[in-house]
Amino acid sequence: MTTLSEMPSHRTARRPGRLPGARPRRRAVGIAAAVAAACLLAVPLAPAPPAEADAAPAAATPVRTAPHNAAAAVRAAAAAEICDIHCDARDPGTAAGDRVPVTAAVHGRTLRLHVSDPDVMGWGSIEGGRPGDEVWLDRSFDGGKTWASGSRLGATTVPAGSTGWRTQMYNVDDWANAGVGALRACGKAGDRAEIACTGWARNDRNAGSRSTAAATALMMLWDRDTGLFETNGWWTGANALTAVIDNARISGMGSYRYAIAQTYDKNVNARDGQFRNEYLDDTGWWGLAWVAAYDLTGDSRYLSTARADADHMRAYWTTKCGGGVQWNTGIAYKNAITNELYVQLNAALHNRIPGDTTYLQRAQEGWDWFEASGMINSGNLVNDGLNDSCANNGEPTWTYNQGVVLGALTELHRATGDAELLETARDLADASTGSTYLNPGGILREVNEGEDCSSDGASFKGAYVRGLGRLNAYLADRPYGAYLDRQADAAYANDRDALGMYGPHWAGPLVRPATGHGCQQGALDLMNAAEAG
C-alpha cells in the first residue's frame, strides 16, 4: 500500500477531476478595474476568552527611557497616517493595555511587539542593548506578505545612557479602506548589519471566538482591488467567500459583509458573466456562494445569479452514462463534485423560490442518477468520477467529495421530507468520519496532502467539514459534533500561528506557506462547523 509520505504532493499531483492529457486548468483571474474600497463599518467584538488566547511571553523587563524629545530618536520617512480610535504615532505611555504576543532576539537584544487591544494599536521595543540600537514597526495588510506602505514605522534608536527604547504606537487596521492589518517589531544592534523581526500579530478586534478570529485572518488575504482572495483563485475564491458569509451567519459578526457586494460587483461580468465559466463545478461553487449571500442579505440579485449558474450547469446535462452534468463544457467527463454541487444548488434554489417545481425536479433527477452511477464505492466513500465505460474510475476519495454530497442531501431532504435521504447521508457521513485512511490518528488529512495552501487540494477539507457541519446542524441529535470538535481542537492547538493563520495539517506540525488562502478557508469552514454544531 502506498503511504501518505510516498504520495505526490498537490504541487505535482493531477488535479482531481482532470482527465489524463487534458489541458491545464487556468485558475488565476485578472480583474483590471480597481475600485475604491468601501468603508468598513466594524463593531469590535469582545476579546477572545482567556482559554482561547495565545499564551503571552513573560513580561518584558522595563527598559530605561529617555525624554520624548531625545536627540537620539529618529523617525522613518512618513507613511500615510491612519486613524481609528486614535491616530498613528501615539505615545505608548497612554496605552490602555500591553500584551506581548511575539518576541525575537538579535545579538543579545530582545525585540517585543506590544499590542494594546483596547486602543487597537501596537508598538515595538528593544531591550538589553546599547545606545544606537534600532527598533521599528512594519505594518502589512495582506497577512505579512508585503509591507511597503508601512515599512519602518516609528523607527527610532536607543538614546544615550539607556539599554532599551520603544517606538510610538501605530494602528493595526485601516478600517476606512477595508484593510485588515498586522504588525511586527524589527530591530538591529547599532554596530551590526543583521536585522531581526518578530512574527506578525494583531489585536483582538473581531476575534472573540475561534471562528471570528479565523475569519479575520482570512480577510487579511482578501484583495481589495480584485474582490477575490490571495492568488485570485476562481473557484477557491467562491469557497472562501462562502466561509466568510457562513461565519457572519453563525457567529453574528457582520464586520466583513462588505466583501459580498464588492466581490459581486467586481466580478459579475468576468469570464462568461454571472460567475459562469467552462468548468461546471466552478459555476456550482459560485452558485452556492450566492445562495449563501442571498440568505444573509436578502438581496435578490444574488439569488438571480445562483439561478443563472444552475441553468448554465443544466445545459451540460447529457445522456452519456445515462445522465449527469459533465465536468467541463468541452470535456464529457462525468465526475462526482460537479454533480454533487448540481444537486445541492438546485435543491437550495427550490427551497428559496416559492412555487418552484423545475429546480426540485432537476435536484431529484440529479440525485437519482448520482446514487445509481457507481461513484459511491462499496465502503460508502465517493471516488472522483466515471471512466470511459461509465464505471467508477477508482480515483482518490478526495475529502470534498465526501462532504458536498452531505450538504446536497440535507437540502434535498428539506425540499422533499424523504427520510431515506437522511439515512443515506448518515451512512456516508459515518463512512467518512470513521475512515482511518481519511482520518489517520483521528484527524482529517487530505489525500496526497501537501505543504502548500495555494493548490486546489488545500481547499478540499474545508468543503468537507462545511457539508458535514450542515448535516450535523440539521440533525436533532448532532451526531458529528464530537468529530468536528476534535478536528477544531487539533487544528487550533497544532496548526495555528500568532496571527491566527492556519497551515495545511490540522494534526500539525504547523507549516505556513508563502502564498495561498486555501488553508485558511478550510480552517474557517472547520471553526464555523464546530461552532454551529
Q: Are 240 and 517 within 8 A, CB to CB? A: yes
Structural domain spans, the chain: 55-197, 206-532
Helix (H, G, I), strand (E, B) or coil at 153: strand
Instruction: Give the separation between CA 287 and CA 477, rounded to whole angstroms.
Output: 30
DSSP one-letter code for 276: -
Burial of 450 (0-12, 13-18, 19+ CB in 10 A): buried
Burial of 479 (0-12, 13-18, 19+ CB in 10 A): middle
As a CATH number, domain 206-532 is: 1.50.10.20
- For 342-486, strand residue ranges (E) read none
What are the beta bridge partners of residue 229?
Answer: 222
Q: What is the pLDDT of residue 78?
A: 52
What are the beta bridge partners of residue 184?
Answer: 138
Q: Mean pLDDT by 10-residue block, N- to C-terminus, for the chain (533 residues)? A: 31 34 32 33 34 32 31 46 98 99 98 99 99 98 95 98 99 94 98 98 97 98 94 94 99 98 98 99 99 99 99 99 99 99 99 99 99 99 99 99 99 99 99 99 98 96 99 98 99 97 98 93 99 94
CB atoms within 10 A of CB 144: 23
Question: Which of 508, 462, 94 has its CA nearest to residue 246?
Answer: 462
Cis previous bond, 509, omega within 30: yes
Q: What is the pLDDT of residue 111?
A: 99
| Residue labelled with grid coordinates 464505471 | 391
Instruction: Report the predicted TM-score, pTM, of the whole model to 2 decimal places.
Output: 0.86
DSSP one-letter code for 170: E
Residues whose CB falls within 8 Å of the CB of residue 37, separated by 6 or more in sequence, listed in order: 177, 178, 179, 224, 258, 262
Q: What secondary structure, in 3-state letters, does 78-98 show?
A: CCCCCECCCECCECHHHCCCC
CB atoms within 10 A of CB 488: 23
